[in-house]
Structure 1
């Protein structure tokens, strides 16, 4: 369009805005910004919006130094500390002008060619979200979704529900169309809520599995944001994610599939080894916090998708049985192998965790029944009707698992 002097001026929007929320980011910020500067995408097609969230360690000054020399457009915003990562991300998102937005944490770094590769696949496939392979540095990283690159998938037919961090490429039009922002009332799990909503609203998701696009860095000082917060915040996170899934996905198999994520990843760890260290008051409070979630969202459909030890613990949480739960957690903490019990001609396999067929405990047999995937490693498990092969397999299983054989003999009258 012509300017005031009649010359033609071409106005182009960047391909991608890199939003960096930074709090006490030094010295990790140095490598973070170096990884941005080293990207192979044309610097004219990249903009950086960096928000210093009240740092006192020189983070803001270093961001301004970077802005003065960087080959791409850099905007630095300095503000008082907001208390969490959501505020800086929202401020950065409000200033973004790129077709896509990528959220980069100040203590992490981009892989070589990351932006170029992710933008290319989004443009080629027309997808709204792109996941680039993540590698951990001095910390763990998600793995199950990187087996194969996918031009187009969704949250129901892949493992992407197990990576809900914000470090992904999002089409900005999607975020603006739905008014999506990070929930500033949450101090943990805010990125899970944002990313799950994006998955559910997206017109397709792409996965770049054959190239490391992001390095998730474990800080030596232990100050990584995901490590903070008390247990009550985890229940807040689970509640918000469960509510979002229930609001956007009708009841049924697809909802059950997604509910596995908050139940197993967010809620269940509160009833793992740390339960044994909790005081009676904390245990009581955890069960109080869990009760409305179990009442509203725990279902037979979700239960069937879990492993036996996961299902058993959550069943006991739902039933309000801390005494039985403690026994199960102690068993797991001791790294014991549950005996396997074959019945119904080899068609049913039960894993004998504590209180199996204990009449006083009253836990239904179905809670202990292994699903197809969990049953496969056990000798004697077959999916065909009974036959000679089946009988040989059952005999081998009983020989290999004496604990299961003895239990089968002693409880024969109670067998289903």
Structure 2
């Protein structure tokens, strides 16, 4: 008798996961989806703390199919996830970190959402436990969306439901050369290739647990790994999208989430060698990918710091970082009949510094918080644009016709 294909394969990569693994596996057992429709593939990545033994105990008593694979330590999360993905048989796969846990009904709700809308990726609401979790994308359930018209670019962790046939069709695997940010690369590629993305926002599907033993990957590793991660994600966007607004709106993510924190208050505590190295690592990324389309989508203090990195001006940047660290507020400067608002962070209008005024110009979404600023009505922009078009047409007419409308010689 042939066994029915599972609806979902839960892939758990585990390394030194005790005691967090206990609650993780309990959350899998507590799922409301029929156990016969769930497959678990757990990969112990060379743990020495009893993780592998506990996984095998769980496999022996669980009501669902559980496969335990024990291997030598691979050095990162990509290897175990790829091993699990290679063994999976479910219609969907879900990557569950061994120190996190699922919400009740998580798999049932996400599978139903994916089936109902025929989407390739399903996001379930994430809640943080002793750590921060993404929030901006959980406003409401969305049957079908994409990475350009929603905020899902700010949740690139791997803990999502992926249609397995879709992953196999595109040969998608995690990059084992990256020690951090490998999930961002994988998930962004999935967003870009997917035939639709769904969001379950009205039920907590995943609890992101902060470990107190310092072993969580986001808390460890050299700062150089963050530059590797940014470089990989920016390169993916360059390969998959032509230059233009779509690429720019996604490029905001690696600049804002991965690169900018390296040039925050931490820089004040680091020595000159590290500062110099960071600027050297950032330079090729700034040269290749920093442009006005990305810059205008950031707040002034974010744009200013990255502009100073692009200008290779650590001296000016340290002043700005100290200003922000001291929680000082920049003076607002209104111009053009109060329709333009500049925020006078350090070195504003300084000829010696040479930072263009446009870097300090607040975009409307930031400017509206300041009293006195007036938004220019859309029709004003249209009138100005029309005037420019008419002037250009008149110039072209003069160039190609004679004084009485005849063709110019």
TM-score, structure 2 normalization: 0.91
Q: 2:263 aligns with which of 260, 271, 275?
A: 271
Structure 1 segments (4+ residues) deviating >4 Å? none
Structure 2 unaligned segments of length 5 or more: list them: 378-409
In structure 2, the partner of 1:6 is none
Following the alignment from structure 2 to structure 1, what is the Cα–Cα distance between the partners of residues 372 and 346?
22
Q: 2:67 aligns with which of 64, 72, 75?
A: 75
Q: CA deviation at 1:10?
A: 3.9
1:93 equivalenced with 2:89 (yes/no) = no
Structure 1, residues 19-77: CA drift from partner, whole Å, max 9, x if none? 00000111110000000001011111100000000001100000000000100000000
Following the alignment from structure 1 to structure 2, what is the Cα–Cα distance between the partners of residues 70 and 83?
29
SS of equivalent to 1:20: strand
In structure 2, the partner of 1:146 is 138
Following the alignment from structure 2 to structure 1, what is the Cα–Cα distance between the partners of residues 169 and 286?
33
Structure 1, residues 276-334: CA drift from partner, whole Å, max 9, x if none? 01111111100000000001111111011111011111111001101000100000110
Please say if residues 323 and 346 of structure 2, whose CA atoms lie closer than 8 Å, have aligned partners that are also in contact.
yes
Following the alignment from structure 1 to structure 2, what is the Cα–Cα distance between the partners of residues 211 and 348?
42
In structure 2, the partner of 1:117 is 109
Query: Which runs of structure 2 are paired with 1:163-312 in the superposition (5 Å)?
Result: 163-312=155-304
1:351 equivalenced with 2:343 (yes/no) = yes
SS of equivalent to 1:92: helix
Following the alignment from structure 1 to structure 2, what is the Cα–Cα distance between the partners of residues 293 and 64?
45
Structure 1, residues 237-277: CA drift from partner, whole Å, max 9, x if none? 00000000111111100100000000000000000000101
Following the alignment from structure 2 to structure 1, what is the Cα–Cα distance between the partners of residues 199 and 43?
28
Q: CA deviation at 1:222?
A: 2.1
Q: CA deviation at 1:384?
A: 3.7
Following the alignment from structure 1 to structure 2, what is the Cα–Cα distance between the partners of residues 87 and 360?
51
Structure 1, residues 369-395: CA drift from partner, whole Å, max 9, x if none? 00010001100111147xxxxxxxxxx
Structure 1 unaligned segments of length 5 or more: list them: 1-8, 386-416
1:327 equivalenced with 2:313 (yes/no) = no
Aligned length: 377
Structure 1, residues 177-219: CA drift from partner, whole Å, max 9, x if none? 1111110100010000000000000000000010000000111
Following the alignment from structure 2 to structure 1, what is the Cα–Cα distance between the partners of residues 66 and 38?
9
Please say if residues 129 and 210 of structure 2, whose CA atoms lie closer than 8 Å, have aligned partners that are also in contact.
yes
SS of equivalent to 1:381: coil
In structure 2, the partner of 1:45 is 37
SS of equivalent to 1:64: helix
Please say if residues 117 and 143 of structure 2, whose CA atoms lie closer than 8 Å, have aligned partners that are also in contact.
yes
1:136 equivalenced with 2:134 (yes/no) = no
Q: 1:19 aligns with which of 11, 14, 19?
A: 11
In structure 2, the partner of 1:60 is 52
Following the alignment from structure 1 to structure 2, what is the Cα–Cα distance between the partners of residues 137 and 144?
17
Following the alignment from structure 1 to structure 2, what is the Cα–Cα distance between the partners of residues 62 and 78?
12
SS of equivalent to 2:332: strand
Q: CA deviation at 1:11?
A: 3.7
Check 1:384–1:296 CA distance in 2 against 1; reply closer, same or farther (3 A cut): closer
SS of equivalent to 2:282: helix
Following the alignment from structure 2 to structure 1, what is the Cα–Cα distance between the partners of residues 297 and 376?
21
Please say if residues 126 and 205 of structure 2, whose CA atoms lie closer than 8 Å, have aligned partners that are also in contact.
yes
Following the alignment from structure 1 to structure 2, what is the Cα–Cα distance between the partners of residues 220 and 332?
29
Following the alignment from structure 1 to structure 2, what is the Cα–Cα distance between the partners of residues 58 and 278?
38
Following the alignment from structure 2 to structure 1, what is the Cα–Cα distance between the partners of residues 2 and 214?
47
TM-score, structure 1 normalization: 0.90
Please say if residues 214 and 220 of structure 2, whose CA atoms lie closer than 8 Å, have aligned partners that are also in contact.
no
Structure 1, residues 71-93: CA drift from partner, whole Å, max 9, x if none? 00000000011111111000001
Please say if residues 265 and 321 of structure 2, whose CA atoms lie closer than 8 Å, have aligned partners that are also in contact.
yes
